[in-house]
């Protein structure tokens, strides 16, 4: 299987249990690459309205704008980091382990994840306290 990246196509052989989601994603990515080539004459996957590559802070700015438009800006922090933190917390709350999460989130150091895991465990204990005897 070939996966597209900014410098070209890389070969990747998935594990058997990974194939279902990857095959679906692969076809969607290749469709997007072909659309971008046809409309914008570019090899980039993520492009702005006129075909220029997205800048590093494009997504952050859009999230900020959506937070303002929704009326939650100022009450809740709306940023890529907040979404990443929420994902990590939800992953641990739903039974995920810190070692797998470290690989998914790309954390070089386990300390931050261990601290998040401890907070999740405390919250879980507090919420189930009324039901324990």
- pLDDT tens string for the chain (133 positions)? 444 444 444 444 555 555 566 677 788 888 888 888 888 888 787 888 888 888 889 889 999 999 999 988 788 888 898 888 889 888 888 888 888 888 888 888 888 778 888 888 888 888 888 887 6
Same-domain pairing of 116 and 74:
yes
Q: What angle do CA 55, 60, 62 make, to 5 degrees?
A: 90
Same-domain pairing of 126 and 93:
yes
Same-domain pairing of 63 and 29:
no
Same-domain pairing of 29 and 81:
no
- Residue 13 located in a structural domain: yes
How many domains does the structure of the chain reveal? 2
- Residue 50 located in a structural domain: no
CA distance 129 to 127: 6
Same-domain pairing of 127 and 75:
yes
CA distance 42 to 40: 5
Same-domain pairing of 65 and 114:
yes
Cα 129 to Cα 60, 94, 95, 123, 126: the distances in Å are 39, 18, 19, 10, 5
Same-domain pairing of 83 and 23:
no
- Residue 46 located in a structural domain: no
Domain residues for the domain of 77 are: 58-131
Same-domain pairing of 33 and 62:
no
């Amino acid at each position: 299987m070939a996966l597209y990246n900014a410098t070209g196509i890389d070969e990747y052989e998935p594990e058997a249990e990974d194939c279902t989601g990857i095959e679906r994603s692969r076809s969607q990515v290749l469709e997007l690459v072909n659309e971008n080539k046809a409309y914008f004459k570019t090899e980039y996957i993520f492009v702005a309205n006129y075909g220029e590559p997205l800048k590093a802070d494009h997504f952050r700015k859009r999230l900020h704008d959506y937070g303002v438009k929704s009326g939650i800006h100022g009450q809740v922090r709306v940023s890529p980091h907040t979404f990443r933190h929420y994902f990590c917390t939800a992953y641990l709350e739903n039974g995920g382990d810190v070692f797998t999460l470290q690989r998914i989130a790309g954390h070089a150091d386990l300390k931050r994840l261990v601290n998040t895991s401890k907070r999740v465990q405390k919250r879980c204990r507090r919420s189930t306290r009324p039901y324990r005897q």
